[in-house]
Structure 1
Amino acid sequence: MHALDDITVIAPHFKRRLSGVTSTVVQLIPEQRRLGLGILTLGPGLPEHLPKMRWSQLAGLWRKPAKAQRRVWHARRNNEMLFGVILRDLLRMPLALLFTSAAQRHHSRYTRWLISRMDAVVATNARSGSFLKVPHTVIRHGVNLDEFKPAPEATDRLAGTGLPGRYLIGCFGRVRHQKGTDLFVRAMIELLPSHPEWTAVISGRITSEHAGFADGLTKDIAAAGLSDRIRFLGEVDDIKPWYQRLTLYVAPSRNEGFGLTPLEAMASGTAVVASDAGAYAEMIVEGETGAVVPAGDYEKLKGAIAQLISDPARAMQAGKRGREHVVEEFALTGEAVRLGEVYASLLTNPSSKPMIEAKSIEQAGT
């Protein structure tokens, strides 16, 4: 159990299942700690190595930290915002509320109310920021360059995988319509027969809700006679080596919040073809690190993939440039430093939000 005296930031995580937010928290908090920030997370669904506070320590938030007048409660979901409002406004704990928004849609009345109660708001990209009706700061996610890195030059990328071919193309993430997994599979069924040196892999959770969707893809692959060259890996314990094995990564999402996988792929030295969902278009340098196509546009997605698998040398060069681009623009340290500046402002400036009563919270949810 961590003492709270030197803790100035609480990053709640109120979801058990793995998500993009989970990935962000898992990568970011150790970097923030490395830079000297006193930060703990609270909640389920996170690895044991992350520094956490216990629910039994919540009462300790009534006491101010040793070197500040209050703490920052950094929420990333509605339930985390609501919990922060209750702690600050009803229980009168000395907290400043910060919300990071990745959503690219118009917010519900309830969410808008919660956002209006925040002391500061961060958007993960310009498009997400365009849906906010309050002042905000854009801070793009970064990637851990020590964790996600290219394989050594002499490495045989497919060694030990048991997969056929010479080059690997992949699509990672939850297997569902929203993620465009079907678009990737369709492109592979149509392209791989003309490119015998390439094999495709798909990794990610298949929930019961989307099992029928995944079964349909498996049947399509079998009907095309490509079951040996389009493989479902399921959820793998460590995705990093698979990024290193790829020559091309495809992110065909129809809808996305931010989306870290293209950054992870480029950091690993892999070229990327992505839709313009989420912040993908802000990550990729068109024609240099890969290509961006309109979300849901199958023909343009297929065309962009075809150009790179037809020229593996070009794909590998794009992967090298992708690594350089991520180092220059998307290092995790940069995200941690910019968030640190927001935290510092909140820790030194008094809250401008008036306290509210329980009845107001009830009315906001109706």
Structure 2
Amino acid sequence: MELSGAVPAKVNLADIDIVAPHFKRRLSGVTSTVVQLVPCQRRLGTRIAVVGPGLPSSLPHLGIRQLAGLWRRPNGKRFRVWHARRNVEMAAGIVLRDVLRMPIRLLFTSAAQRHHKATTRWMIARMDAVVATSARSGGFLRVEHSVIRHGIDTEAFHPGEPFSTEKPYRIGCSGRIRPQKGTDLFVDTMIALLPDHPDWQAEITGRATPEHRAFAADLKERIRAAGLAERIRFLGEIDDIKPWYRALTLFVAPSRNEGFGLTPLEAMASGTAVVTSNAGAYDELVDPGKTGTVAPAGDGEALREAIRPYLDDPAVAHRYGSAGARRARAHFRLEQEAQALAAIYERLQHQPSGHRVS
């Protein structure tokens, strides 16, 4: 994913109805959401642009100075929509609307699965509409809201060749190498299971940031001490992860906590069975016993027993993977997320001030 380098092309504010601020340079789940969603929204006719750093130059960008133009109403609409996903973006929107009196409506998407601090609650209460990315995250909101789950590009993430008995079978885990993602739970599970399943090998993609390099080094030492360095491999960051998903027989998402978590959806859309924790929205994505298995977050023993049946019988993973691809295409397409948001944008742009939209 290109996050810097080329200078982004600016767009004309007169052609923009929806502004998606992105006020963070580091790659995050929010970044991934915006990068995937905005082009889809544009294809479906939403006149949206991003503002802020840390996004590919291929996205339609507004410059910070162009925000002064928000005093002018968009053509044919009562308001523009400021679609925030972080506290700092909510705060900026409140200033633009309530201090500078710009004709905008504020939408906040919340993925957090924790009780919000007082300042965050205060800002959320001042939004014109609120979206939760899962029923669980919605349970932590104290305001009226809609649930719109993230979607996946099912044209980009799609099944590969028919199931093959070629060995070794591959089991994978993807994400930042850190305790939150449960990388250690996956490694310990593989150390326990692989000696009895010689037809399998494990792969871990993603990088360790400086603060977690000692954590990653410890995991590699555990693997070396178990004599499994050739069968549990760290691949680092992969430029194009889509073929990797398609090559797996089983994908594991062992996170201890998540906001939403797109990786199981990416794997399912690729025709790969999944075993996940119940962090984030995982248990709203997986259909247990049909597309995969869900285990309690942070429970290494439960994770091990959830994975074992697939290693014993890879044909189970094949059946679940096929069902997962059908489920992703039926319920979690990116277009469905874009269309649901477009309906909220439309109501926000035409409804009088002081009326909350859901």
TM bucket, shorter chain: over 0.9
1:242 corresponds to? 244
1:5 is paired with a residue whose SS is: helix
* Number of corresponding residues: 347
User: Structure 2: which amino acid aligns with 1:126?
Assistant: A
- CA deviations over 1:209-236 (Å, ceiling 9, x no partner): 1111111101001101111111111111
For the 8 Å contact 1:104–1:127, the answer to whether it is kept is: yes
User: Of 239, 252, 255, which aligns to 2:254?
Assistant: 252
Counterpart mapping for 1:172-183 below 5 A: 172-183=174-185
Classify 1:157/1:8 alpha carbon distance in 2 versus 1 (closer, same or farther; 3 Å): farther
| Equivalent residue in structure 2 for 1:189, among 188, 191, 198 | 191
Match of 1:279 in 2: 281
Alignment of 1:39-118 (within 5 A): 39-118=48-127
Unaligned runs of at least 5 residues, structure 2 = 1-9
% of aligned pairs identical? 61
1-side partners of 2:272 and 2:136: how far apart?
25
| Greater than 2 Å deviation, 4+ residue runs | none
- The unaligned stretches of length 5 or more in structure 1 are 159-164, 355-366
Q: 1:30-45, aligned counterparts within 5 Å? A: 30-45=39-54
Normalization by structure 1: what TM-score?
0.92
- Give the whole-Å Cα distance in 2 for the aligned partners of 1:291 and 1:152: 23
* Amino acid paired to 1:74: H
2:235 paired residue among 229, 233, 236: 233
Write the deviation string for residues 28-87 of structure 1: whole angstroms up to 9, x where unpaired.
111110110100011111112111111121111111111212100000000110111111
Counterpart amino acid of 2:333?
A: A
For the aligned residues, what is the CA RMSD? Answer: 1.5
1:92 deviation in Å? 1.3
* Candidates 18, 23, 27, aligned match of 1:9: 18
The answer (yes or no) to whether the contact 1:157–1:244 under 8 Å persists in 2 is no
Aligned residue type for 2:312: S
The residue matched to 1:277 in structure 2 has which SS?
coil
1:123 to 1:157, Cα distance in 2 relative to 1, 3 A: farther
C-alpha offsets along residues 168-214 of structure 1, whole Å, 9 cap, x if unaligned? 11110111111110000000111111111111111112111111111
Secondary structure of 1:113's aligned partner: helix
**Structure 1 Cα separation of the partners of residues 139 and 160 of structure 2:** 38
The corresponding residue for 1:153 is: 162
Cα separation, 2, equivalents of 1:338 and 1:214:
40
Structure-1 separation of matches of 2:97 and 2:319: 51
Distance 1:141 1:184, change over 3 A: same
Larger CA deviation: 14-23 vs 139-148? 14-23
Counterparts of 1:138 and 1:15, CA distance in 2: 24
Deviations 1:322-345 (CA, angstroms, capped at 9, x unpaired):
000111111111111111111011
Cα distance per residue 1:268-287 (max 9 Å; x no partner): 00000000001000000101
Distance in 2 (CA, whole Å) between partners of 1:235 and 1:340 is 33
Q: Shift of residue 241 of structure 1? A: 1.2
Match of 1:358 in 2: none
Q: Deviations over 1:145-168 (max 9, x none)?
A: 0111111338x799xxxxxx5211
Query: Following the alignment from structure 2 to structure 1, what is the Cα–Cα distance between the partners of residues 11 and 250?
Result: 42
**Alignment CA distance shift 1:157-1:114 (3 Å):** farther
User: Is 1:339–2:341 an aligned residue pair?
Assistant: yes
Structure 2 residue aligned with 1:305, among 304, 307, 310? 307
Q: CA deviation at 1:353?
A: 7.5
Tell me by how many angstroms 1:5 deviates.
1.4
Structure 1 residue 29 and structure 2 residue 25: aligned?
Answer: no
- The residue number in structure 2 matching 1:161 is none
Question: Which residue of 316, 319, 322 corresponds with 2:321?
Answer: 319
